[in-house]
Amino acid sequence: MSDKLFLEQTAQEILNIVEALQFYRDNVIKPKYQNLIDKQLEQIAQQLKLQNINILLDNGEKRYNFGDIVLYEGNDAIITGMSDEDNFIKIAIIENGKFKTLEIPICLLEKRKN
């Protein structure tokens, strides 16, 4: 499809779309297709720049992804999701032989060395 479409959105609505695309790229799409999302994000950024709106695209490597095994208080934990609180993350740990879900500050996690 070569037709160009114009969407009327507020800056916040565009930021929401960009953040959703970045989340999709980092957590859902297969790595071999991530460059397609990167190209789309770059095109959005270029279009916004023409309208004097600058956004910062996060193209860096993610520190943590869903399903990663990390260390929390010296024990293994699995990242299960994002918290509604800023800079918090949901993890699952095993306590007394059962899974327990916690929401903790992301700064309390450590990368697990393989």
pLDDT in tens, 34-65: 889 889 888 888 888 888 877 666 655 566 77
C-alpha triplet 11, 13, 19: angle, nearest 5°:
100
Rounded Cα distance between 72 and 50, Å, is 45
Which amino acid appears at position 59 of this protein?
A: N
Q: What is the mean pLDDT of the chain?
A: 83
What is the residue-wise DSSP string for 63-104?
Answer: S--TT-EEEETTEEEEEEEE-SSTTEEEEEEEETTEEEEEEE
What are the residue boundaries of the structural domains of the chain, listed by start?
11-50, 69-111
Count the neighbouring beta carbons within 10 Å of the beta carbon of residue 32.
7
- Rounded to two decimals, the pTM is 0.54
Between the alpha carbon of residue 78 and those of residues 7, 38, 85, 103, 105, the distances in Å are 39, 27, 18, 12, 14
pLDDT in tens, 10-31: 888 888 888 888 888 877 788 8
Count the alpha carbons within 13 Å of 100 in the hemisphere toward its beta carbon.
10
